[in-house]
Structure 1
Amino acid sequence: MSAQHEQYLVGLDLSGRRVVVVGGGQVAQRRIARLIAAGAVVEVVSPEVTPAVEGMVSAAEITWTARRYTDGDLTGAWYAIAATDDAVVNEAVTAEAERTRVFCVRADDGARGTAVTPATGAHDGLTVGVLARGAHRRSAAVRTALVEALQAGVVDENAEAPAPGVALVGGGPGDPELITVRGRRLLSRAQVVVADRLGPRDLMDELSPDVEVIDASKIPYGRAMAQEKINELMIGHARAGRFVVRLKGGDPFVYGRGFEEVQACAAAGVPVTVVPGITSAFAAPAVAGTPVSHRGVAHEIVVVSGHVAPGDPRSLTDWAALGRMTGTIVLMMAVERLGRFADALITHGRPPQTPVLIVQDGTTRIQRTVRTTLETAEDVAAQEEINPPAIVVIGPVAGLEAPVGG
């Protein structure tokens, strides 16, 4: 293929068609994943393969011929990739492909093959491909920018308006970059957004001016929109023919009353989609440099709601069992009753000197981190004027801290 000629970008339907990949290293591994997604019948020819490629073989996603390439291996192929670290072998594969009229990508020298793999990305049924005459970093950068623009709704793709209904979207712990790709895409197409205060607020500025935003905040120990009213608003707008995004902080099914909203929509006959989110129970400690599990330190993680105290008739938590365990406890909504939780754990066997990490407003610009112990947690939280939302991590992992970049 002559480098000075314009390259012809085309989409190949490889579903059910034989594709031969010669080579089993990292380059081949990256190509194979997309070929599998395209439904190709992939055969790898290589004496050795990476563990990931071997895993694909074990899962019966591809086949592996464990030997060096020999002439004739491309017989019956529709497409081929020469991805070894041996230029002589790659040249031989390309030569056979030329004779048999099989388009072939040569990974080590794209200009010497008969096809080039573009930098590709996917968004909502679209596949974006970019070629830059072999400038791979440039094509990858442009591809990424285009996909991000589509995901954020910056590029008008003239998509049909979404069908009326509700999407229950977990917005993540607060940082607008920690919402999922699907969550951000659906938010960009919303006609009505019913938003919690713990959702990624910065994303509201990106919405079109004609999007109706409804504040459904639940302020701890303060003002709150009743859950029944939230359900009524979601259902009412959906029945009026609008696409509603219920934007919640964290994950809607982790102490977010998300399933109650799903039940309400289902009972009203309103279609509802659930988009999971990153829970602050794990994200907040992570951005503070602390894992909730670590080899040789904690083999169990229990996430506990702190909305009722130990001994409360409404409590479903076995505090005696939590006191006996040695792993990690993550308390959510626990600031007001932190002293009572600490007392219960100490009473049931947790050492008073057990490390405690408190992360307030995790992942946001105003994040605060406090480290203390179980016996002093209540006093330290009061002295530091810790307020909700805050995540409390209890256990040996809370004594671990690694530098985390922004």
Structure 2
Amino acid sequence: MASTFFQISPRVEGLKKTLTDFVELECIPAEALHHKQMGAQGSADRWKVVPSVIGHLKTRAKSLGLWNLFLPSYYKESPGLTNLEYGILCEIMGRSHVAAEACNCAAPDTGNMEVFAKYGNDAQKAQWLKPLMDGTIRSAFAMTEPQVASSDATNIETRIVKDGDSYVVTGRKVWISGAGDPRCAVYLVMGKTDPSNPNKHKQQSVVIVPADTPGITVVRPMTVFGYDDAPHGHMELAFDNVRIPASNMVLGEGRGFEIIQGRLGPGRIHHCMRAIGLAERALEIHLLRITDPSRTAFGKTLSQHGKQSFDIAASRMDIDQARLLVLRAAATMDAKGPKAAMNEIAMAKVVVPNMTLAVIDRAIQAHGAAGVGQDFPLAYMYASVRTLRIADGPDEVHTIQIAKQELRRAPALRAHQANQLQAIAKL
């Protein structure tokens, strides 16, 4: 695991040591037992929350002071870390797919908690933020829809209609992560309250929908490369005239885009931070495989074949470059806020998942057929990271944003070039 190149506080240094021990000696060893406790892939029992090793790990994380570390220091509910400080710790959590949940730092709850912390009123915080931060409930964010290109959120068709002292929600949502969990008690739902507004970014709103509200149907669980991720899941949901109190509007009508940008910026960085940790673990698995003295090919260990050495070096360089980009985005968020860091966040969101996939793919190749089987975690790593090129905005959307930002520089560069040419002419 690479060390940081800058000074961190004694508190964060202590948390880093405690978290590293927790992840390496408790979370990673518990992964196989966790999968066993969840039951066979595709079985109905997988959608039940049973007493499991995750519950034990959560108790341990609380006792170690590793709970809710994600919420930035500018919220009163925060444990006091900056985005940069959390970035260092989040990378460590990313090394195990159970660690983030064990520390109550897992998506989509982190993003939803930040919505409540940033935009919720006192009553909404008391009803939803507190139990989420206590870990007694879980949540989901319902934005993507099956019938429209949801990478452009202005396409969203779900209607949120005011009716007296209520709102009525009607529509269909898909790929709603966390909605399969029986502990999921609340959805944040994005839909249109004012579809005729000439400003297409003022048509949408976000409302709070308790998961037990009449009219909600879980249509089916979705799979990712065959994995159902139970009991968390990624569900298709139908909202059929779902009536909620008007007080369940977040921030106000027409503020949906403002809310999702405030939510998705930090969430994208959290995904990237965890992916860096996953890439580090994949590189370590790769190293162990190719240096195993009991495995030889053509009279040599795999590490003695030139291609493997080049792959290891490429992974090392790729990870360290990507980490710098993520930490830069986190530092910019701390200094100027998430909105000012949009370009840095977008670059990290494109670069890191692609980098992580490349590192995992090299490790898979070194394992041969075993790399895509169940005896190593590499196949599941690859499937989960591949979704990050789509989740929270596909690569293409972020790349377009980066290009637009660069193209805005052209007029100033042209003027500068003209000044240079004038200076040359005077020589």
- What is the TM-score of this pair, normalised by structure 2? 0.21
Higher strand share: 1
- What is the TM-score of this pair, normalised by structure 1? 0.22
Higher relative contact order (CA 8 A, sep 6+): 2
Higher helix share: 2
